[in-house]
Amino acid sequence: MQTNSQHKIVFTGGGSGGHLNAAIAVIKEFQAHPQQYPAELVYVGGTRGMINDPTPSLESRKIPELGPRFISIRSGKLQRYLSVDSIKLLAGVFGGFIDAWKVLKTEKPALVFSTGGYVTVPVVICARLQGIPVVIHEQTIVSGLANRINAQFADKILVSFANSLQYFPASKTIVSGNPLQASRFQTDLPASVGADYKEKLEQFVAEKPTRPFIFITGGGLGSHKLNNWLKNNLEALTSKYNLLLQTGENQVYKDFETIQIHLQTAAPALREHLFVIKWFADEIGHIYNQADLVISRPGANSVLELLATNRRAIFIPIPWSANNEQQLNAEYFCQQQAGAIVAEAELAVKLLAQIPQVLQMSARDSSKLVDKTAAVKIAQLLWQTTLSSN
């Protein structure tokens, strides 16, 4: 379908799966209704992954698969300490402003929508300087530094939680909810799932009456700490549970490859009760629907998805997350749903013992706390803002 270039929207967000997934949820809403939203969608992001990891950024890999044109800019990060890496990251910040200015001058979008992350700061500021309307979205309860900067230049600020209103100017801040992808609520296994993966998921579901099904995920970037914990406790875990592990694609530690090599020489019982994936896609709704327990980092998207699907969970907050946001996310979850929090420093001694305790808890109906239509509402708001800017 031919789109009107006057209706071009630049999406920007990166640095974590949370920022990216919020953007993807809204992009998919636009793509699902092309007649209602005849917009051209462009995504501006970074290509740099984690520090010292050669794996390209999540957005540079996932967005082209989704369809929008991806334009990369240099990106950096302000750090509180001085090192060779921090100097390189600071240089990336300045380079990002030059790149963002050129991209926006060339693309001339009607609107910029930012879901957060350091890569978005140059895009948002340059958009404001060029007179392009800006809408930003904050996923977490406590605002990160990038969005606190972006808020000074935004026309509208959308937040997931009412608790977040305190961090932004009341006159331009709206509680929109957090946009979640529709696939999170689709309980059927999609046809795209590979044969081995499908067979293992079907086995895990069939054995649920006698062997609980546990999904372990480190989020979009994976968690080396969680992956290592599982590897060190494989025998104890697989003697009682069926395990699906999402490792992430980190090429510094190569956890996926390391665990696969370990399984090649492991006892058959270990291989029978563990399946390992790097990343999940539309099958995640089926996994959420069937898992007896989820062990995860408490990113905002993960917390809301698990509340929306009434899942029990154990969270291991990242201790260095900005403003202790992951700890606060986990505490919010445990106030509303059956769950527990294990400090990363106590992972080795406490997590294994927490599993049977949380499995004995009764899951509550927490789905009513999550607005599953947030992506629809945000898409509508962005489209109205786009039309009014032309």
Q: What is the pLDDT of residues 73-128, one digit of tens each?
A: 998 655 444 444 544 555 567 899 999 999 999 999 999 999 999 999 999 999 99
140, two tokens: 């977490």
- Report the distance separating Cα 54 and Cα 47, nearest Å: 10
Contacts 24+ apart (CB under 8 A), 66-69: 66/24, 66/27, 66/28, 66/31, 67/27, 67/31, 67/41, 68/11, 68/27, 68/41, 68/42, 68/43, 69/41, 69/42, 69/43
The whole-number pLDDT of residue 242 equals 98
The full DSSP string for 351-371 is HHHHHHHHHTSPP---GGGS-
**Higher model confidence: residue 389 or residue 135?**
135
Please determine, for residue 48, whether its predicted confidence score (pLDDT) is greater than 80.
no
Q: What interhelical angle do 17-32 and 58-66 show, nearest 10?
A: 10
CA angle 233, 236, 242 (to 5 degrees): 95
The whole-number pLDDT of residue 77 equals 57
Q: Percentage of residues in the chain with pLDDT exceeding 70? A: 93
Per-residue pLDDT reduced to its tens digit, 242-276: 999 999 988 888 999 999 998 999 999 899 999 99
Q: List helix spans (H) across the chain.
A: 17-32, 58-66, 84-107, 120-129, 145-150, 195-206, 224-232, 234-238, 255-264, 268-272, 284-290, 300-308, 325-336, 347-359, 374-389
CB 305 within 8 A of CB 280: no
Q: What interhelical angle do 300-308 and 325-336 show, nearest 10?
A: 10
- Report the distance separating Cα 196 and Cα 155, nearest Å: 49
Query: 47-61, 95-109, 173-187, 192-206: which has the minimum mean pLDDT?
Result: 47-61
**Higher model confidence: residue 17 or residue 293?**
293
CB 156 within 8 A of CB 135: yes
**Distance (Å) of CA 207 to CA 2, 204, 263, 265:** 50, 5, 21, 25
Per-residue pLDDT reduced to its tens digit, 125-149: 999 999 999 999 999 999 988 999 9
The whole-number pLDDT of residue 322 equals 73
Matching residue, tokens 């013992």: 353
Mean pLDDT, the chain, as a whole number? 92
The whole-number pLDDT of residue 216 equals 98
CATH 3.90.420.10 fits 5-179+372-389, yes or no: no
pLDDT band at 1 (very low <50, low <70, confident <90, very high): very low
Strands (E), 179-219: 213-217
User: The domain 183-369 belongs to what CATH superfamily?
Assistant: Glycogen Phosphorylase B; (3.40.50.2000)
Q: Nearest-CA neighbor of 105 among 19, 44, 31, 20?
A: 44
Please determine, for residue 203, whether its predicted confidence score (pLDDT) is greater than 80.
yes
Instruction: CATH 3.40.50.2000 in the chain: give the residue spans.
Output: 5-179+372-389, 183-369
Rg value, the chain, Cα: 21
The whole-number pLDDT of residue 84 equals 47
Q: For 37-99, what is the HEC assignment?
A: CCCEEEEEECCCCCCCCCCCCHHHHHHHHHCCEEEECCCCCCCCCCCHHHHHHHHHHHHHHHH
Strand order in the sheet with 156-159: 69-72, 40-45, 8-12, 111-114, 134-138, 156-159, 173-175
The whole-number pLDDT of residue 81 equals 42
Per-residue pLDDT reduced to its tens digit, 296-332: 999 999 999 999 999 999 999 999 877 889 999 999 9
Report pTM: 0.90
